[in-house]
């Protein structure tokens, strides 16, 4: 990510340890990175909707927390990219660790009795979260955060592949779609970092709306937000099958049901 020799705006000089490839305060005087900011809506609105529906349908609170955790990441990321202030950067990065720990707990504890809590994984993940937070607050190195986040994602990937390979192979499409969407976002994130100078030069020759399509960090938000949302649904599907609930994703039309029309599961009576 190239350091930005951009204009100053409402929030003043950036204090964050990261400044992404989008030119600052170009679209709005009040938003440092406009496209990187508004792209977080996909990580805010759908997860809030998912949390509400999960609560209404009487599903376990761990999945309500999963959706709310993803929404918290989106809100933190919105604040970070809007201001480029260090405190807001922490509001983005630390919830990434915390929410992914919730994802890990849900996926690794999906074959347990309903509404039970396993203290050992909770303690382990809590210790991990606190340790990462303390180290990162003292050692302000973004690569450390990225490696720790990547380790959690790797745990999710390995567990997901194990489940669809050995337990519920018919869930492979759902698993691999969510994984592919997330990995595409990660690819664009890397391109945005490695080819920032070329991307900035290209944007200067394009109309603003067309140039917005080359904001690959914004695409990272969109794709990882979608991939994470699908992962929560995947985890919910596994849990519902194990508990012998009949998972059904609802459509607006009461006559229809579809697998991913609206993105939440309805708990039915156990078989």
* 24 labelled binding-site residue: yes
User: What's the pLDDT tens digit per position in 53-106?
Assistant: 999 999 999 999 999 999 999 999 999 999 999 999 999 999 999 999 999 999
* 190 labelled binding-site residue: no
User: What's the pLDDT tens digit per position in 168-177?
Assistant: 999 999 999 9
Q: At a CB cut-off of 8 Å and minimum separation 6, what does 215 contact?
A: 21, 22, 35, 36, 39, 192
* 81 labelled binding-site residue: yes
* SS percent in the chain: helix, strand, coil, step 5: 65, 0, 30
Angle at 99 between CA 268 and CA 43, to 5 degrees: 80
Instruction: Assign 257 to helix, strand or coil.
Output: strand
Question: What is the residue-level pLDDT of the chain in tens, covering all 271 positions?
Answer: 544 455 799 999 999 999 999 999 999 999 999 999 999 999 999 999 999 999 999 999 999 999 999 999 999 999 999 999 999 999 999 999 999 999 999 999 999 999 889 999 999 999 999 999 999 999 999 999 999 999 999 999 999 999 999 999 999 999 999 999 999 999 999 999 999 999 999 999 999 889 999 999 999 999 999 999 999 999 999 999 999 876 555 545 444 433 333 444 445 444 4
* 231 labelled binding-site residue: no
Residue 95, H or E segment: helix 86-108
Residue 80, H or E segment: helix 61-83
Asked if 55 and 27 count as a contact pair (C-beta separation under 8 A), the reply is no
Q: Is 14 exposed, middle or buried (0-12, 13-18, 19+ CB in 10 A)?
A: buried
The reported pTM is 0.89
The token pair that represents 257 in the structure block? 């049901």
What are the start-end ranges of the H helices in 109-215? 119-138, 142-166, 172-194, 196-204, 208-212
* 87 labelled binding-site residue: no
Half-sphere exposure (CA, 13 Å, Cβ side) for 49?
12
Report CA torsion sign: 162, 168, 172, 178. negative
Half-sphere exposure (CA, 13 Å, Cβ side) for 113?
3
**Domains of the chain, earliest start first:** 34-242 (1.20.1070)
Q: What Rg, from alpha-carbon coordinates, does the chain have?
A: 20
Instruction: Report the alpha-carbon distance of residue 31 to residue 9 in Å, rounded.
Output: 8
* 145 labelled binding-site residue: no
* 217 labelled binding-site residue: yes
Instruction: Assign 110 to helix, strand or coil.
Output: coil
């Amino acid at each position: 990510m190239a350091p930005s020799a951009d204009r100053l705006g409402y929030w003043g000089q950036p204090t964050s340890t990261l400044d992404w490839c989008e030119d600052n305060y170009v679209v709005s005087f009040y938003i440092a990175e406009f496209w990187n900011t508004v792209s977080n809506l996909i990580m805010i609105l759908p997860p809030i909707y998912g949390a509400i529906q999960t609560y209404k349908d009487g599903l376990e609170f761990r999945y309500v927390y999963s959706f709310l955790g993803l929404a918290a990441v989106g809100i933190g990321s919105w604040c970070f990219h809007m201001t480029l202030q260090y405190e807001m950067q922490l509001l983005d990065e630390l919830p990434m660790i915390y929410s992914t720990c919730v994802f890990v707990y849900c996926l690794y504890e999906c074959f347990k009795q309903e509404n039970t809590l396993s203290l050992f994984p909770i303690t382990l993940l809590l210790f991990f979260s606190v340790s990462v937070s303390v180290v990162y607050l003292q050692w302000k190195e973004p690569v450390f955060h990225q490696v720790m986040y990547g380790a959690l994602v790797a745990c999710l990937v390995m567990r997901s592949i194990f489940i669809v390979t050995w337990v519920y192979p018919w869930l492979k499409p759902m698993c691999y779609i969510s994984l592919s969407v997330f990995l595409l976002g990660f690819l664009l994130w890397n391109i945005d970092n490695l080819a920032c100078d070329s991307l900035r030069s290209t944007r200067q020759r394009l109309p603003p709306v067309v140039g917005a399509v080359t904001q690959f960090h914004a695409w990272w938000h969109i794709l990882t937000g979608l991939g994470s949302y699908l992962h929560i649904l995947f985890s919910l599907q596994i849990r519902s099958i194990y508990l012998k609930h009949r998972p059904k994703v609802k459509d607006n039309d009461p006559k229809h049901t579809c697998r991913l029309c609206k993105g939440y599961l309805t708990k039915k009576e156990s078989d």
